[in-house]
Structure 1
């Protein structure tokens, strides 16, 4: 898939959790499409600054901003800095997320609350601040036919149960209904809200699942497309959802998973 380097020209984007993994892939693809990007990070400042340098070296524009998205004060301060630096914001990619896995009976309340606060409450807080700016500014037809776009990073596990990860899948199921409800409420204001649901993507957090031939072969049993996804697969989907090419897409989850949600175990009946 290729697209014009000017597809998002003039647009200002914020990607939470943008210093590594899927978030970094999204940042790089948005910048490649012409957007100016704010890269939020929680604890990987060096990685975020490296991406900023790379984007600037390619004649793009980017900044790095530290914030804990689960904290309202941090989120408000982050948006204030973005607005001070960029003047406005057109695109929010709600990507920050963590896992704290354990069997259900062993899961602590601390780990339950931590995952829900980052993965779900963090997306709520960021979406709310972005929507306030979209409504304040309104549509700028020379920039986009939408007043703003919010992309929530979900997971195939908003649909597929996953034993040992009850806090994580609950957060992703919550993202799905939050996204749909926000989309319903904001659509009359020309604000679009959608989700991307990645499947198995090659990132450092899940390296043990794909970095040996044996592990990858086992993982591929779950993926009809017979390959593990790359971060650019998600980044390119984010560019499309952020662009006017998807203007009639609202309240939808785009599964980017090689068919993992097709329950491949039933392929032979």
Structure 2
């Protein structure tokens, strides 16, 4: 296995399960020190235990990206532990799907705070370290829902906002050797999409089969598909790629 991230530190929000976990594992396998902040203590402990048993260097913290103090403290501790913060992946997310006339203030604010405010807090904290070392990679997890999706006014708005944040940070931070890009997943088999199927009252295997019919490559996505794209943006060889959004959805998106 290649070691293209040896000596680098990757900080992944919401990295204990699903897409985040796949991203963490791939970074670790390719030599990076990995740091995870997550609200799910049980999943976090499980992920940390398995990674350490495999011989990887891991930092974990139970905390919310929507809490500025949690994020800033975690960044400080990671820097003190590993000596640098080279890569930030803003992956943490939740869904509170509903049609707009049923959507509560809490549904809206929860999604905005985790996806958008959380990415802002983490990016602002990370760039303080990255600009001093004249090197950094920030990768945001957007979604095809940024283009609009029924029942997801909150989620779609937050994911579209992440694309604007991506492009703006790319402009502001490029002179310091920091690139900022986004990966926008399509349908990926995760706990989040399982929750969507449950909300719709559809068995997950049927939900996957139905959704796959509309995907040009003829299959659903897996967390590893998104991790592959994230690691492309994180690679040192991608230094001339910044402010971009890549749709990883098995087909074209406008």
Shared fold per TM-score greater than 0.5? yes
- 1:163 positional shift: 1.2
Q: Give the alignment of 1:69-108 within 5 angstroms.
A: 69-108=65-104
Q: Report the 3-state secondary structure (helix = DSSP H, G, I; strand = E; otherwise coil) of the residue aligned with 1:105.
A: coil
Report the RMSD for the aligned CA atoms in angstroms: 1.6
Alpha-carbon shift at residue 213 of structure 1 (Å): 4.5
What per-residue deviation string (whole Å, max 9, x for no partner) do you get for residues 72-112 of structure 1?
Answer: 11111111221121122100000011111111111111211
Look up the match of 2:214: 222
Partner of 1:242: 234
Indicate whether 1:261 and 2:253 are aligned. Answer: yes
- Tell me the distance in 1 between the aligned counterparts of 2:225 and 2:67: 30
1:197 to 184, 201, 204: 184
Deviations 1:179-220 (A, max 9, x none): 100101111111000001111111122126496553222111
Question: Which whole-Å CA distance do the structure 1 matches of 2:203 and 2:171 have between them?
Answer: 41
Equivalent residue number for residue 122 of structure 1: 118
The separation in 1 between residues aligned to 2:55 and 2:74, in whole angstroms, is: 24
Shift of the alpha carbon at 1:52?
2.0
Match of 2:55 in 1: 59
Distance 2:109 2:124 in 1: 20
Mapped contact 1:156–1:260 kept (Cα < 8 A): no
Q: Report the 3-state secondary structure (helix = DSSP H, G, I; strand = E; otherwise coil) of the residue aligned with 1:98.
A: coil
Post-superposition CA distance 1:31-52 (Å, at most 9, x none): 111110001111x222222222
Identify which range, 58-67 or 111-120, moves more after superposition.
58-67
Deviation at 1:239, TM superposition (A): 1.4
Corresponding position of 2:137: 149
Deviations 1:133-186 (A, max 9, x none): 111223xxxxxxxx0000001101122x11111000000010001110010111
1:185 to 151, 166, 172: 172
Q: TM-score, normalised by structure 1?
A: 0.88
Per-residue deviation, 1:58: 2.4
SS for the counterpart of 1:112 is helix
TM-score, normalised by the number of residues in structure 2: 0.93
1:3-55 residue CA offsets vs partner (Å, 9 max, x unmatched): x521111100110000111111111111111110001111x222222222222
Which runs of no fewer than 5 residues in structure 1 stay unpaired? 139-146, 263-269
Q: Which SS does the other structure have where 2:101 is aligned?
A: helix
Aligned structure 1 segments of 4 or more residues deviating by more than 6 angstroms: none
The 8 Å contact of residues 222 and 260 in structure 1, kept in 2 or not, is answered as: no
Deviations 1:229-262 (A, max 9, x none): 1111111211121111212110001111111626
Aligned residue pairs: how many? 249
- Name stretches of at least 5 consecutive residues in structure 2 with no aligned partner: none
1:170 aligned onto 2:167: no
